[in-house]
């Protein structure tokens, strides 16, 4: 068995990379240890930067996005008992789009040719520092297979096998709080996203559609879901957001630890990392999916140049370029996390309020925040 590119992982990074390569005439096989239903059922990020929307449209994946995606011209910050709107379009000329990651994955799977190999196991990468790498795996019939290729793309996330093959320096931070998130069948209580800084902790009001609301609460590390019945969650959301949300059936509930991680470099020989296999950002800045799309947009161009034209320049510079983007996202996501979450340190808590008040009173500070949020950077 042989292909030009083996992509490990059928999340949005891996599926989009395969799609972009196919459009350029590069053949790729996608391997995924989970089953199709699991991949489609993962509820993740839902805020798309304009650059991400542009990539999806250019790749022919914008039909449903344009029909049901929710374009937002701004978002709100609530603190000190007041609300201040960040007018993204007014400050930057660009909106963001609310469209769930699972919807992006659905669009990619509908367009996939060939279908990813789901449910494989015992995936192993070999000879990545040579020009004849390969990947071995066990298929769903229990048969051990070997895929020979020119390049391997590790898009299998933080817990996948790819990242451990790269002899990388790892930079990590664990934040002293977690997020309790719910997805509820209820109409959103606000037309745009609301980020709330409250003495009881951070809260976020988001949405996935006019009928589905996505809501988050800051909780302590180690808290258990059983300590948070639905009634308590709705009451706490109303307190922190300063207005009641319309309660509805909760269809998903979970607690997520907040952490940051960057692996340097993102390339080792003929193995290239993209998405969560290379970096994880705290979710406050809504950068994870957008960062993965930026990775594979550049990687698809680099591999096309390498495999079709023998040009190595973009492949050799891929890691350096995308690490700069990763650290920009880490900087902004960390700043947003520290800005909005309750700190146990009274000094830090007062600093957060001072920063929020400056954003509310300074056009320059609000513009800088808006530019970071929509993905505009002076050093991009």
| Active site amino acids | 72, 195, 283, 287, 373
- 350: which 2 tokens? 């007062």
**Are 281 and 336 spatial neighbours (Cβ–Cβ below 8 Å)?**
no
> CA of 240: how far to CAs of 195, 196, 234, 272, 337, in Å?
10, 7, 10, 42, 16
Q: What angle do CA 156, 270, 124 make, to 5 degrees?
A: 45
Half-sphere exposure of 75 (CA within 13 A, CB side): 26
- Radius of gyration of the CA atoms of the chain, in A: 21
Rounded Cα distance between 213 and 252, Å, is: 11
Half-sphere exposure of 247 (CA within 13 A, CB side): 10
Element at 313 (helix H, strand E): helix 313-340
Residue 204 backbone phi and psi in degrees, to 5: -135, 130
Helix axis angle, 313-340 relative to 346-361, nearest 10°? Answer: 110
Rounded Cα distance between 192 and 206, Å, is: 7
Parallel, antiparallel or unpaired: strands 169-184 and 212-219: antiparallel
């Amino acid at each position: 068995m042989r292909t030009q590119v083996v992509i490990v992982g059928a999340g949005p990074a891996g599926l989009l990379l395969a799609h972009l390569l196919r459009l350029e005439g590069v053949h790729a096989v996608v391997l995924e240890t989970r089953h199709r239903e699991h991949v489609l059922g993962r509820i993740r990020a839902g805020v798309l930067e304009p650059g991400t929307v542009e990539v999806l449209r250019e790749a022919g994946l914008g039909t449903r996005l344009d029909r049901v995606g929710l374009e937002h011209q701004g978002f709100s910050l609530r603190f000190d008992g007041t609300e201040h709107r960040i007018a993204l379009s007014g400050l930057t000329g660009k909106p963001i789009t609310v469209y769930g990651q699972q919807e992006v994955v659905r669009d990619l799977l509908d367009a996939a040719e060939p279908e990813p190999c789901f449910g494989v196991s015992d995936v192993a990468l070999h000879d990545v520092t040579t020009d004849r790498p390969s990947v071995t795996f066990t298929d769903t019939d229990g048969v051990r297979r070997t895929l020979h290729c020119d390049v391997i793309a590790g898009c299998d996330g933080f817990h996948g096998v790819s990242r451990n093959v790269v002899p990388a320096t790892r930079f990590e931070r664990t934040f002293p709080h977690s997020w309790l998130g719910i997805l509820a069948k209820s109409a959103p209580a606000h037309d745009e996203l609301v980020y709330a800084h409250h003495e009881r902790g951070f809260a976020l009001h988001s949405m996935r559609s006019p009928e589905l609301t996505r809501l988050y609460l800051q909780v302590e590390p180690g808290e258990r879901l059983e300590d948070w019945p639905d009634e308590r969650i709705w009451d706490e959301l109303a307190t922190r957001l300063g207005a009641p949300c319309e309660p509805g059936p909760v269809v998903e509930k979970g607690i997520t630890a907040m952490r940051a991680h960057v692996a340097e470099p993102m390339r080792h020989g003929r193995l290239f990392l993209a998405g969560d296999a290379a970096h994880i950002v705290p979710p406050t800045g809504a950068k994870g999916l957008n960062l993965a799309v930026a990775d594979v947009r550049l990687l698809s161009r680099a591999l096309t140049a390498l495999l079709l034209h023998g040009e190595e320049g973009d492949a050799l510079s891929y890691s350096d370029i995308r690490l700069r983007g990763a650290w920009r996202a880490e900087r902004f996501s960390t700043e947003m996390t520290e800005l909005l979450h309750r700190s146990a340190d009274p000094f830090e808590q007062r600093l957060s309020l001072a920063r929020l008040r400056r954003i509310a009173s300074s056009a320059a500070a609000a513009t800088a925040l808006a530019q970071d949020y929509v993905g505009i950077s002076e050093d991009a």
